[in-house]
Amino acid sequence: MTGTGQVAKAETAIPLVHQAQLRKLAYHAGRHLAQSSQLIGRIGFLDAVRDRPANPFEKATLTDGRDAVFAGAAELVRGTPIVQEGPAELADNEDFRSASFAEGRAMRSRWLKHIVFLLLITIKEPAMAENLTVSDETRSDVAALVAAQDAAWNRGSAEAFAARALPDIVFTNIFGMFSVGKAPFLAQHERIFSTIYKGTTNHQQIQHITLVKPDVAIVETFAVVTGAPQAPSGVQLIDGALHARPQQVLVRRADGWWIASFHNVAVNPAYASGPPPKL
């Protein structure tokens, strides 16, 4: 066969090869998307695509990637051979093969971009839309933790107040003082229980609980501290009491809920009755 005949036959074969490849990808995409619950943890086929041979007629198998974009997206076909084969008589036509490589790679890239987009929607959208309901058990456990904090405060026991603090707890108090670790969290409460808040009473009301994950909760409380001889510097009392809005991030472990973060904000009397006005 002449070179011209080979090229003409190749031009006819290329769309057929591409169509066959698309049908294979569509089949595997449909099968795996229907089993999307099994895709979690099977991440990262983009690196495999990056490392694939440039030859569109060469056999290759997609394998797990290690550092693919968006944590690897989702592995579409785990170990499924993706084969592109040209006509046998084209095997020695290096000129045509060289001219075809770039076109084949560009087309693969376009296919895979569309597939990755669909996979991201399939995997991420349900997770983002997931509505985690706070169970009665969780509400009861969180209420018990908050009540224990109030009891510890009212006894002036910093050790008891910090009993459920994680070793690397992140803490910001109403003055904006910031620390990381249980030791400074404990030391700060020892200080205030022996000075500005000595003999005070604290009562927290749970305003809202948000479950970020089944074992991670954001707890908003409204705290009223009474009995302080005077307002702490920079803080204004409301009806003779300090009003604050602590926010705690709780993490559930085998032995219950623990405090990962504690962020406290004093309520400004100007906005005590509602949200601040729009500027």
Output the domain CATH number for residue 182.
Answer: 3.10.450.50
Q: Find how far residue 277's CA is from the centre of its chain.
A: 33
pLDDT given for residue 94 in this prediction: 57
Residue 207 tokens, joined: 């305003």
pLDDT given for residue 275 in this prediction: 64
Q: Give the tens place of pLDDT for each residue, 135-166.
A: 999 999 999 999 999 999 999 999 999 999 99
Helices vs. strands in the chain: H and E counts, helices first: 6, 9
- Looking at the fold, whether 88 and 25 belong to one and the same domain comes out as yes
- Looking at the fold, whether 117 and 141 belong to one and the same domain comes out as no
SS3 category, 85: coil
Contacts for 117 with CB less than 8 Å, ≥ 6 apart: none
- Looking at the fold, whether 124 and 143 belong to one and the same domain comes out as no
Answer whether residue 91 shows pLDDT above 70.
Answer: no
**Residue 271 banded pLDDT, cuts 50, 70, 90:** confident
Q: Is the dihedral of CA 113, 119, 123, 124 positive or negative?
A: positive
Q: Give the tens place of pLDDT for each residue, 229-242.
A: 888 888 999 999 99
**Residue 27 banded pLDDT, cuts 50, 70, 90:** low
- Looking at the fold, whether 142 and 123 belong to one and the same domain comes out as no
Residue 279 placed within a domain: no
pLDDT given for residue 121 in this prediction: 57
Structural domain containing residue 201:
136-271
- Please state, in angstroms and rounded to a whole number, the distance separating the CA atoms of residues 183 and 51: 49
Mark which of 129, 151, 183 sits at the end of a domain. Answer: 129
Mark which of 113, 129, 145 sits at the end of a domain. Answer: 129
For the chain, the domain total comes to 2
Looking at residue 74, its amino acid is: A
- Looking at the fold, whether 83 and 123 belong to one and the same domain comes out as yes
pLDDT, mean of residues 242-251: 97
Mark which of 85, 103, 129 sits at the end of a domain. Answer: 129
pLDDT, mean of residues 50-70: 47
